[in-house]
C-alpha cells in the first residue's frame, strides 16, 4: 500500500517493518484521557519497554500537528501526557478535520487500527475495546471500534470489552460483523477489570504461536476484518466482580443524571469508577495493559517467524 501523505512513520519503526521484524502498535487515548500526569507518561513508557523486552518494536500512535504518527518519541509521549484531555479524542470521523487543521488527536482503538494498517503494522495492544453501551437499544450508542474490527485486518490484543458496556450485545454485534473473539488461555470473555463476565468466547487459544498461525491463515485467505484477542487481567490484579459492578452501576446512573453522552461517556465512567474504587481500578487498568503488551509482542514475534 502506498503510504498516506499525512503519515509519518518513526525511523526505528520503519526500519523494523522493512526488515520484517515484529512491531506492536499502541494507542494514545490511554495517555491523554486514560489517567493523570505523570502516571500516564510513566505507564506509556513502561508499556513500550515491555514490548521491547518481549522481542518487538513499539509504535505508539497519535496525531500531532495534523500528522498521523506511527511511533512516538519519548518527548512526544511527554507532550501528550502533559496536554492530557486538552487533546481531542480522535475517532474515524475526526481524522480528516484534525489533519486539515493541523491539530493534535489522541487515537482510539479505531484510529490506532487505521493508522497501524496504513503503516503496515499488524498487531496492536490496548486496554479494552469499546462496544455496545448499556441502553443502546434506545440511544444507539455503539463504539466505532466494532465497525473498525469488521473491516481492518489488524489483531487487537485487549483485556476484553470494558465492564461499563453491554457485553452480551457487544458479542452479538461482533458475531454479526464476522469478527472472531478469541480467549487467550480462557473460555470466558474477560471484562477488563475482572477475569469473568459470564459470556463465552468463540475460540480458546493458549500460545502466541497459535495466535500468530490463525492470524496468518486469516491474511492468507484474504479475510478483510480484524481479530479480537481477549487476554484476562492477571489474577493478582483482578477486582472482585461485585465491587466493580457496584461502582459501574453508580457511575452509569451519575452519567445519565448529568446528561453525558457520546465520546465523553467512556472517560467519565472510567474516571468515576476509579474514584469509587479508591484508585484500585486505575491500578488494575495499568497492569492489564502491561499484560496485553507482553502477549502482543510475543505474538508479533511468532508471526514474523512464520
Where in the sequence numbering do the catalytic residues fall? 27, 162
CA–CA separation, 215 vs 165, rounded Å? 27
- Looking at residue 262, the DSSP 8-state letter turns out to be G
Return the sign of the alpha-carbon dihedral for residues 141, 292, 121, 33.
Answer: positive
- Looking at residue 263, the DSSP 8-state letter turns out to be G
Compute how many other C-beta atoms are within 10 angstroms of the C-beta atom of residue 55.
16
CA–CA separation, 138 vs 169, rounded Å? 13
205 bridge partner residues: 184
CA–CA separation, 146 vs 253, rounded Å? 25
Residue 162, all three cell numbers: 470494558
SS3 198: coil
Asked if residue 104 lies in contact with residue 62, where contact means CB atoms within 8 angstroms, the answer is yes
The three-point CA angle 3-9-13 to 5° equals 120
Amino acid at each position: 500500500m502506498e503510504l498516506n501523505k499525512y503519515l509519518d512513520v518513526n525511523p526505528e519503526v520503519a526500519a523494523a517493518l522493512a526488515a520484517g521484524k515484529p512491531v506492536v502498535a499502541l494507542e494514545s487515548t490511554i495517555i491523554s484521557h486514560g489517567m493523570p500526569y505523570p502516571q500516564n507518561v510513566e505507564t506509556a513508557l513502561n508499556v513500550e519497554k515491555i514490548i521491547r523486552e518481549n522481542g518487538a518494536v513499539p509504535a505508539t500512535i497519535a496525531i500531532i500537528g495534523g500528522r498521523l504518527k506511527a511511533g512516538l518519541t519519548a518527548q512526544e509521549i511527554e507532550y501528550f501526557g502533559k496536554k492530557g484531555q486538552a487533546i481531542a479524542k480522535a475517532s474515524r470521523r475526526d481524522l480528516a478535520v484534525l489533519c486539515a487543521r493541523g491539530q493534535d488527536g489522541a487515537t482510539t482503538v479505531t484510529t490506532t487500527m487505521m493508522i497501524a494498517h496504513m503503516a503496515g503494522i499488524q498487531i496492536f495492544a490496548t486496554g479494552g475495546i469499546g462496544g455496545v453501551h448499556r441502553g443502546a437499544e434506545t440511544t444507539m450508542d455503539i463504539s466505532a471500534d466494532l465497525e473498525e474490527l469488521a473491516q481492518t485486518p489488524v489483531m487487537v490484543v485487549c483485556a476484553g470489552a470494558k465492564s461499563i458496556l453491554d457485553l452480551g450485545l457487544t458479542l452479538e454485534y461482533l458475531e454479526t460483523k464476522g469478527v472472531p473473539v478469541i480467549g487467550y488461555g480462557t473460555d470466558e470473555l474477560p471484562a477488563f477489570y475482572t477475569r469473568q463476565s459470564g459470556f463465552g468466547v468463540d475460540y480458546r487459544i493458549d500460545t502466541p504461536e497459535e495466535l500468530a498461525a490463525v492470524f496468518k491463515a486469516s491474511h492468507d485467505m484474504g479475510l478483510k476484518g480484524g481479530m479480537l484477542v481477549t487476554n484476562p487481567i492477571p489474577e493478582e490484579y483482578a477486582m472482585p466482580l461485585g465491587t466493580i459492578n457496584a461502582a459501574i452501576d453508580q457511575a452509569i446512573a451519575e452519567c445519565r443524571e448529568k446528561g453525558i453522552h457520546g465520546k465523553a461517556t467512556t472517560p467519565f465512567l472510567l474516571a468515576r469508577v476509579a474514584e469509587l474504587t479508591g484508585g484500585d481500578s486505575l491500578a488494575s487498568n495499568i497492569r492489564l495493559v502491561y499484560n496485553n503488551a507482553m502477549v502482543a509482542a510475543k505474538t508479533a514475534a511468532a508471526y514474523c517467524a512464520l
